[in-house]
Structure 1
């Protein structure tokens, strides 16, 4: 499981998991329903080279080829939200960073971003 990678990731993994769970709670989950683009990014020295854009584009081609119905991605900042919107992803759920508490601590209250948004794209 992802929480074994490093405990430092636990707050963001918990936030993303709660966002996903609240969205998926009343959704019918069958084979190839949801294609999850999870934590897509690049190292700072490779930014602005179109790498993330190509990763998303190729992932969506793969999702369509495998007959997924919906692609989901958590956009953790405004830049990723804007990029996903260019691929026609729509906002479906959000968590206000300053309101999110993990083990009694508001880890994200001063990060500068306002919301983490779950975004979806209808594929088929």
Structure 2
């Protein structure tokens, strides 16, 4: 088994360095390696992918909302646009609090329980 593990590790390192050689000079390579975790602490590739996707979507949506939509809605100044800016910000806050609660409940399933 250790021989197979070392062969796989060597092949992975070689593949990453081959990919790096074909990148443009101004480009950086980010490689994420997943391995089966110890018993009781699983972090599978699917879970990691979902987590990274959620983080990217949340940051992109927040940036889109607060740096593009809200200034545009506030600059118009009509009542409808101000209400839309307020409602969207409230929806963003609810989504954020929901994410926080989900993260806490996932990390500590007994938190808040009796």
Q: Identify whether the pair has TM-score above 0.5, normalized to the shorter chain.
A: no
Larger relative contact order (Cα-Cα within 8 Å, sequence gap ≥ 6): 1
Structure with greater proportional strand content: 1
Pick the structure with greater CA Rg. 2
